[in-house]
Amino acid sequence: MSTYYQLNKICPICGSSLDFCFSHQVLDKYFAKYYFCKTCGYLKADDPFWLDQAYSSAISKADTGILIRNLSLLPKVASILYWLFNERGEGRYLDIAGGYGILTRLMRDIGFDCYWNDKYCQNLFARGFEYTSELGCCKAVIAIEVMEHLVDPLTFMKETIAMSSAETIIFTTELFSGDSPPPISWWYYVFKTGQHISFFQAKTLAKLASLLNMNFYSSNGIHMFTRKNLNRLAFHFLTTRFISLASFLIIKKLMHSRTLPDHYLMLND
């Protein structure tokens, strides 16, 4: 392997050396280099100079799963927040990098006081409920399909915690195990959009959590960093499909929807 690829490549998460993995074309016109950390399992695109073009539209037209993803994650996120914490859904919540505001609106429709924030996307469905620091601290942050878009995941997490004062972050991203997946065998690279530039293993997320002085929980595609000590078995069951759906029906009856109150609030705004 040429030493050219090894020069000054340090993992931004654990500080170990990064090894060159492969090159691949992104956006059908640029060749990107990908590096892998054997210590923490982090895989990243090097110097993603193409991001401005990749985000000419904040959400790719290839993201055909945007609605079903939000609808399927809603019961799991709601169940975790309602049952695993003492507040029973009380308090303020932040949907960071919330895209069009779909999940923010759905969370408010159940009864959660959820707010939207996204530097790069227009808020279409949760207008009037944008988060600002003046609103105060949040009980938890939700970050759905955000991590794979980040140049510096650790800094993002630190800034999000500082902004929201939250002790819990619930998020999703696809994980891999072992060595870096070959380019032709893993759909999650999505080279054609150029937006996915960071990839994680469970041990990568565990390292991130330790650097943030937080506990790490992961099950059924849902990951969580939190300063609280929670029941891992309960977390696992609440993220299963059927238990989360049954739980969701109960939560909807116990909480008070904000749909109509929000309607009147916006009329009088």
> What residues does each domain of the chain span?
66-173+202-267
The pLDDT value recorded for residue 233 is 97
Q: Give the lowest-confidence range in 83-87, 149-153, 172-176, 217-221.
A: 83-87
Tell me what the mean pLDDT of segment 115-122 comes to.
Answer: 94
Question: Shortest CA distance to 76 belongs to which of 124, 144, 127?
Answer: 144
The pLDDT value recorded for residue 2 is 38
CA distances from 61 to 22, 54, 169, 239 (A): 26, 11, 27, 28
β-pair type (92-96, 140-143): parallel
CA distance 170 to 194: 25
Residue 132: pLDDT band (50, 70, 90) is very high
Residue 194: pLDDT band (50, 70, 90) is very high
Question: Shortest CA distance to 148 belongs to which of 63, 238, 78, 72?
Answer: 63
Tell me what the mean pLDDT of segment 131-155 comes to.
Answer: 96
pLDDT above 50 (res 77): yes
Q: Domain 66-173+202-267 maps to which CATH number in 3.40.50, 2.30.29, 3.30.1490, 1.10.10?
A: 3.40.50
CA distance 60 to 196: 11
Q: What's the chain's length in residues?
A: 269
The pLDDT value recorded for residue 92 is 96
Tell me what the mean pLDDT of segment 209-220 comes to.
Answer: 98
The pLDDT value recorded for residue 104 is 98
Q: Cα(first)–Cα(last) distance of the chain, in Å?
A: 62
pLDDT above 50 (res 128): yes
Residue 7: pLDDT band (50, 70, 90) is low
164, 137 contact by CB (below 8 A): yes
Q: In sequence order, which residues have a C-beta less than 8 Å from that of residue 47 and are 6 or more positions away? A: 33
Q: Which residue has the higher pLDDT, 87 or 226?
A: 226
Question: What is the pTM assigned to this prediction?
Answer: 0.94
Token pair for residue 79? 């169940």
CA distance 154 to 193: 23
In which element (H, E) is residue 101 found? none
